[in-house]
Amino acid sequence: MTLKRSWVDSANSADTDFPLNNLPYGVFSTGTLDARCGVAIGDMILDMQAAEEQGIVDLTDDPLFDVPFWNEVMEEGPAVWAALRGRLTALLAEGSKDQGLVAPLLIRQADAKMHMPFVVAEYTDFYSGRHHATNVGTMFRGADNALPPNWLHIPIGYNGRASSVVVSGTDIRRPWGQLKSPNHDSPAFLPSRRFDLELEMGAIVGMASDGPITVDEADGAIFGYVLLNDWSARDIQAWEYQPLGPFQAKATATSISPWIVTKAALEPFRTTTPDREVPLLDHLKDTSPMLYDLDLSVSLAPEGKAATTIAETNYKEMYFSAAQQMAHHSTSGCPMTVGDLLGSGTISGAEKHERGSLLELSWGGKEPLTLDSGDTRTFLEDGDTLTLKGAAKGKGYRIGFGTCTGTVLPALKDPYARP
């Protein structure tokens, strides 16, 4: 597929994340406009509340864009999703007869503040990157026991905190927790010293289900995708994760990009999961290509200094797709809800520069990373800004997600102090 041309000139650049082929969904506000739904096109945002109020977009009997989140649209289902995308494409395409009506509803992205694009119902984070799981397992258990026996058969995951999912640009406070030193028998309550990032993708559930669903049904229920940074306190995690897994180490925050890239926009970039070492059971088997060829990167900028790209990888490295993760999630009868967020797990490749966490890049802190500024890092320091980027690349265009950023703030001096 090639670039679809728009009358919005900035959407026709090969470098923009937001050509007409993309049309991602977000929530924005300005100094004069309250938070509302918008669609990115080039360096502009189409005000969907105004478009609906003026009858330019009219898809259902009841309004969809009188609220500052996209859950109402999700709940309408795939037919409305497709109709909306078709209408937006017609409105913004080169030669559109509606250009005169739509042009006054465009807001410059530079003038907008971005908000959470949807209300997160529940959040589940998976551990489905084989290179990441192998690296971490090798560090802690040795190469011969890197992967637990179940890993190649099911998507491993845990239930996270929907309440701590935040939009890109939100500062992240270094957490306190119980830390266990190898040289001491008992833990101490201290700020995390091994705070980390995890480069992930997040899949958003757009259709509710009640009971087990197939991989194909799960794929059809996914509304879109976001970049996701699962901030992780490795020292808290090391003390708490046995016997029941991650808990407070993962509860500080999870950052997502402000733009939801729809599954429809990513269709030309579908690709297969890696070859299976052991066959999956029938209910989890691949039925078609269900991953996406998305280039991903992480950069780290110390306070007041230039950023260094510390990792580059691709979403196609995942061992299980979001559809397989969702299908597995439902096998017990667990209902899936509109607005559920499914984190992919850390996305790492086979090479060192493709590792999606500092835990891997510094090999547990034993191999410090040297930045372009001359600073070194094993884990995150206060003032560090992390930026995740991602895009699928077509012929003369790209389907991008914008950025997912967060800056690490110092831990509170006294987490229990009250004003």
pLDDT for the residue 358: 98
pLDDT, position 181: 80
Q: How far apart are CA 197 and CA 378, in angstroms?
A: 12
The total of other beta-carbon atoms located within 10 Å of residue 100's CB is 8
Q: DSSP letters of 139-172? A: HHH-GGGSS-TTTTTS--EEE--GGGEEETT--E
Surface-to-core class of residue 54, CB atoms within 10 Å of its CB (0-12 exposed, 13-18 middle, 19+ buried): middle
DSSP state of 259: -
What is the structure's pLDDT at 271?
98
- 124 bridge partner residues: 159, 342
The answer to whether the Cα torsion of 88, 90, 94, 95 is positive or negative is negative
pLDDT tens-digit profile, the chain (419 residues): 899 999 999 999 999 999 999 999 999 999 999 999 999 999 999 999 999 999 999 999 999 999 999 999 999 999 999 999 999 999 999 999 999 999 999 999 999 999 999 999 999 999 999 999 999 999 989 999 999 999 999 999 999 999 999 999 999 999 999 998 877 789 999 999 999 999 999 999 999 999 999 999 999 999 999 999 999 999 999 999 989 999 999 999 999 999 999 999 999 999 999 999 999 999 999 999 999 999 999 999 999 999 999 999 999 999 999 999 999 999 999 999 999 999 999 999 999 999 999 999 999 999 999 999 999 999 999 999 999 999 999 999 999 999 999 999 999 999 999 98
Amino acid 294: pLDDT: 98
Instruction: Give me the domains of the chain, ranges plus CATH numbers.
Output: 9-115 (2.30.30.230), 123-409 (3.90.850.10)
Tell me the helix, strand and coil percentages in the chain, rounded to 5.
25, 30, 45
The Cα 2–Cα 397 span in angstroms is 7
Q: Check: CB of residue 64 under 8 Å from CB of residue 49.
A: no
pLDDT at 321: 98
Residue 88, classed as helix, strand or coil, is helix
Of the residues 132, 153, 184, 353, only one is catalytic, namely 132
Amino acid 184: pLDDT: 76
pLDDT at 4: 98
User: H-helix or E-strand containing 91?
Assistant: helix 78-92
- Annotation says 132 is catalytic: yes
The whole-angstrom separation of Cα 153 and Cα 379 is 32
DSSP letter, residue 354 = G
Residue 11 pLDDT: 98
User: What is the predicted pLDDT for the residue at 190?
Assistant: 96
The token pair at 87 is 């209408």
Torsion of CA 334, 337, 343, 344, to 10 degrees: 70
Residue 390 Cα distances to 314, 372, 380, 384, 399, angstroms: 9, 21, 21, 20, 8
C-alpha 301/C-alpha 204 separation (Å) is 29
Those residues whose C-beta lies under 8 Å from the C-beta of residue 256, and which sit 6 or more positions away, are 116, 117, 165, 166, 167, 168, 202, 226, 227, 228, 229, 341, 404
Task: Return the structure tokens found at 73.
Answer: 């649209």
**Full DSSP string of 33-87:** S-SEEEEEETTEEEEHHHHHHTTSS--SSS-SSSSSSSHHHHHH-HHHHHHHHHH
Alpha carbons 85 and 407: distance in angstroms, whole number:
34
Length of the chain: 419
pLDDT at position 118: 98
Nearest to 321 by CA among 210, 219, 209, 212: 219
